[in-house]
Structure 1
Amino acid sequence: MRRRVLGFLVVVSTVLSAAVSAPAAQAAVGDGTPSDTNISFVGRWNRSSASAYVPYWAGAYLRVGFTGRTVKLKQRNTIQLWASIDGKAFTAFSGSGTINLTPTALAAGNHTLIVSYRQVAGSYTGDAVFQGLVLDSGATTFKAPARTRLVEFVGDSITAGTTSSQLAVTGYGFKTGERLGYDHTQIAIGGMCLAETADGCWAHETRYWMSSGGQAGSDQWDFSRYAADGVVINLGTNDRSHGVGSADFQAKYTNFLTRVRAKFPNAKLFALRTLIGRYASETQAAVRARNAAGDPNVFYVDTTGWLPSDGLSDSVHPNDKGHLAITDRLAPILAARLA
């Protein structure tokens, strides 16, 4: 499977959880600047600049509450994004400078916003940089209600939502998280493998640990930034095409589960059978190896029959109907295990 162009989206919806710590001299709480601690930045964001935060991987987003009737987004250069206000359907926006997310003014009162930028990857070179919100005169931000769980969805172009109508936002990971009311992030780039290969497949065994997956250098992610309650892994679709043998895949999957467990000691880990069935027995064997090693919170999820006959946009990638079908099957499993 080729590496596909994915996206960082901008989503407008509800709520916040992770706060940004900023020196007292920086912006005051409630003003909508990047260092406003009322804004929750979910996923892997580079926050080294107080004036511009950069999201990495697919499906990273910000969530915040705001007062007033309008909200605008300050962008540096052109980017595509998706926004959802007050839990309504995500709307696509594209542009640079100040982008008006409310061309029709809202009713006066409190509102919630989610923004997710299109992922900068493959041939897509948009400028996913959050520079702040513009609110009505006298309006402020506020913290949206905290979400009680956070789930990582680890994978390739399928997990990143490639070929679905709104990319990561219409991918099964984003949709499952929103349905359950959990925070969520898609650690995925098109074309990724689990295993490093001689022909250079980008691999999670080396890139999962990086802030940007190697797209913006090899800086390592600080896993203390958030603790995942669940990690859903959907890997192996691309490895077969890059010549990864069964025994090698199984050993590397077992090692990957072991290393993820070290980063998230209390998380439930879910290893999905790839949707086209590649390495199904090897994935299940890796889970059994971890269970035998004394880790009962690693689960194999059999996805056989999850996709309807018209649920693919090509031979591999789910369309919107396919991602919805996956969400319908996956969400109850996560809810039961993470309750």
Structure 2
Amino acid sequence: MPVRRRPRAFIVVATALLLGLTGWLLAPTAGAATGDGSPSDPNIAFYGRWDNADPAALVPRFAGAYFVTGFTGTRVALKQRSTIDLFYSIDGGADAYLQNVSGTVSLTPTALRAGNHTLRVSYRVVAGSYHGDAVFRGLTLDAGATTFAAARPARLLEFIGDSITVGTTSSKNALTAYGWLTGERLGAAHTQIAEGGACLVSAADGCTGMADRFLRTSTAAGSPLWDFSRYQADAVVINLGTNDVGHGVSSTTFQTVYTQLLRDIRSKYPRAAILALQTFTRRYAAQTQAAVQTVTAAGDRNTFFVATDGWLPADGLSDSVHPNDTGHAAIATRLAPIITEKLGPAGTTPPTTPPASPAPSVTSPAPGGSGCAVTYTRTSEWGTGAQFDVTVRNTSAAAVNGWALTWTLPGTQRITQSWNATASQSGAQARAVNVGWNAGLPAGGSVGFGFITDSTLTGATGFALNGAACSGGAAA
């Protein structure tokens, strides 16, 4: 994918502003009038990286930035500097699309009922650059009307990537991209730190390197460093590597830089769950896994590799690389429960080391006889580790509500991380227990999970589901 740069007029060297969730809400600008709808109104929550070099004209710097506020009265309008395309939603309704609007832009051509309302606005992006002049200069309300602080989600999800994360070729760009969809599905705030054509590594031929730009206010070269004290992400999802292969990035360089990105994210977000997605093209998959293995071996127990094989349906691409709306929705369906598993119920904080509490108990009796079959496959390896995928099928006549699979690992092999199941180990004995969303296993039904080990050994034996021996299980 070609690198597309922002229009030069929009590249502003500045500090950043982000108003938002409890615990990462900036103090209002001195002299801000609460409720007046100005850019410094503390009732307006800005999600994403917003540039406030001019406090009267705020500029979003990455795809998917948006703001949310409540307001009273019957009408609301935006004050825009120059022509822009944008999406807006009032009272949680479908996003409406306006093109080539400027000045005072009415968002209520038909008056609303009198009372309290909510507003969300997101400027349209094309390959990471805003389509027009994305400069917010405030809101215009009815005489006597005011803004008020809308409910703020308890969690923030950050998505780092390229044009796929931007949502290029989907119907509403950032709003129909998997990151936005996943955040909405989980009731979380969300940001997309992404640009079309971006690489992981800053390439000599000019490819924007997100390993560096993650640390900055914008994707402009030499942009000021972002102030990470302004918000803390609860989960960070990385999808990078699709473009690096076309810019001469070696496997060794990719792995080294990816490892450093993981360390940088951890230093900025000490308690975030970090999910490193296998790219949908499988480019640099082994190096991505190895980078995760490096940081987990060094003690980071809240960083995970996520295999994405089979996530995109046959009709999920608009071209050979970019998901369409169907593809992005399918990705969100697979990703949302994984994020939920890593974060736990809302209101809890994910640990940075494995919990000491015992694994969840299994509530159903074991299927009688050989009521299960296991497929246990080594799907990739990289010298110091390997990934294994496991499928368990309930061959009994009874449904299982809660399951645990046990088996014996070969030699001194150790499990270092898992997904779609909670894995534990005592000596050579391994155990994987369902997570909340995949506890049910109907008669004839299957469930899958995966894990990474610190060696490439195969030859696991003794598979049992809820205590009943399973057939199959040979590692490929």
Tell me which interval the TM-score lies in, with the shorter structure as reference length: over 0.9
One-letter amino acid of the counterpart of residue 123, structure 2? Y
1:23-60, Cα deviation, whole Å (9 max, x unpaired): 4433x111111111000011100123221111101001
Which residue of 327, 331, 336 maps to 2:336?
Answer: 331
| Structure number with higher relative contact order (C-alpha < 8 Å, ≥ 6 residues apart) | 1
| Structure 2 gap ranges (5+) | 11-18, 345-476
| Structure 1 gap ranges (5+) | 9-14
Which residue of 133, 140, 145 maps to 1:139?
Answer: 145
1:136-194, Cα deviation, whole Å (9 max, x unpaired): 12211111112111111000000001111111111111111111111110000000101
1:43-79, Cα deviation, whole Å (9 max, x unpaired): 1001232211111010011011111221111100001
> Tell me, what secondary structure is at the counterpart of 1:244?
coil
Which residue in 2 is equivalent to 1:322? Answer: 327
Deviates more, 1:181-190 or 1:281-290: 281-290
Q: Percent identity?
A: 59
Closer, same or farther in 2 for the Cα pair 1:163/1:3, shift >3 Å?
farther
Q: Is the 8 A contact 2:127 2:197 kept in 1?
A: no
Closer, same or farther in 2 for the Cα pair 1:154/1:6, shift >3 Å?
farther
Query: Is 2:205 the counterpart of 1:202?
Result: no
Aligned equivalents of 1:6, 1:71: Cα separation in 2? 30
Q: Is the 8 A contact 1:21 1:35 kept in 2?
A: no
Query: Is 2:48 the counterpart of 1:43?
Result: yes
1:251 Cα deviation from its structure 2 partner: 1.5
One-letter amino acid of the counterpart of residue 226, structure 1? Y
Q: Is the 8 A contact 2:73 2:116 kept in 1?
A: yes
Which residue in 1 is equivalent to 2:473? Answer: none
Say how many residue pairs are matched. Answer: 331
Q: Is the 8 A contact 1:75 1:96 kept in 2?
A: yes
| TM-score w.r.t. length of structure 2 | 0.66
Which residue in 2 is equivalent to 1:109? Answer: 115
1:61-101, Cα deviation, whole Å (9 max, x unpaired): 10111112211111000011111111111111120001111
Query: Is 2:132 the counterpart of 1:126?
Result: yes
Deviates more, 1:135-144 or 1:31-40: 135-144
Aligned equivalents of 1:250, 1:16: Cα separation in 2? 34
| TM-score w.r.t. length of structure 1 | 0.92
> Tell me, what secondary structure is at the counterpart of 1:145?
coil
Query: Is 2:186 the counterpart of 1:180?
Result: yes
> More helix by proportion, 1 or 2?
1
Q: Is the 8 A contact 1:6 1:118 kept in 2?
A: no
Closer, same or farther in 2 for the Cα pair 1:104/1:326, shift >3 Å?
same
Which residue in 2 is equivalent to 1:308? Answer: 313
Aligned equivalents of 2:257, 2:277: Cα separation in 1? 15
Which residue in 1 is equivalent to 2:397? Answer: none
Aligned equivalents of 1:295, 1:236: Cα separation in 2? 22
One-letter amino acid of the counterpart of residue 37, structure 2? G
Aligned CA RMSD, in angstroms, stands at 2.1
1:108 Cα deviation from its structure 2 partner: 2.0
Aligned equivalents of 2:338, 2:292: Cα separation in 1? 16
Aligned equivalents of 1:124, 1:197: Cα separation in 2? 23
Aligned equivalents of 2:116, 2:130: Cα separation in 1? 35
Deviates more, 1:105-114 or 1:254-263: 105-114
Which residue of 261, 273, 278 maps to 2:278?
Answer: 273
Q: What pairs with 1:228-267 in structure 2 (closer than 5 Å)?
A: 228-267=233-272
> Tell me, what secondary structure is at the counterpart of 1:158?
helix
One-letter amino acid of the counterpart of residue 165, structure 2? T
Which structure's CA Rg is the greater one? 2
1:19 Cα deviation from its structure 2 partner: 4.0
Which residue of 203, 211, 228 maps to 1:223?
Answer: 228
Deviates more, 1:200-209 or 1:146-155: 200-209
One-letter amino acid of the counterpart of residue 281, structure 1? A
Query: Is 2:79 the counterpart of 1:74?
Result: yes
Which residue in 1 is equivalent to 2:2? Answer: 2
> More strand by proportion, 1 or 2?
2
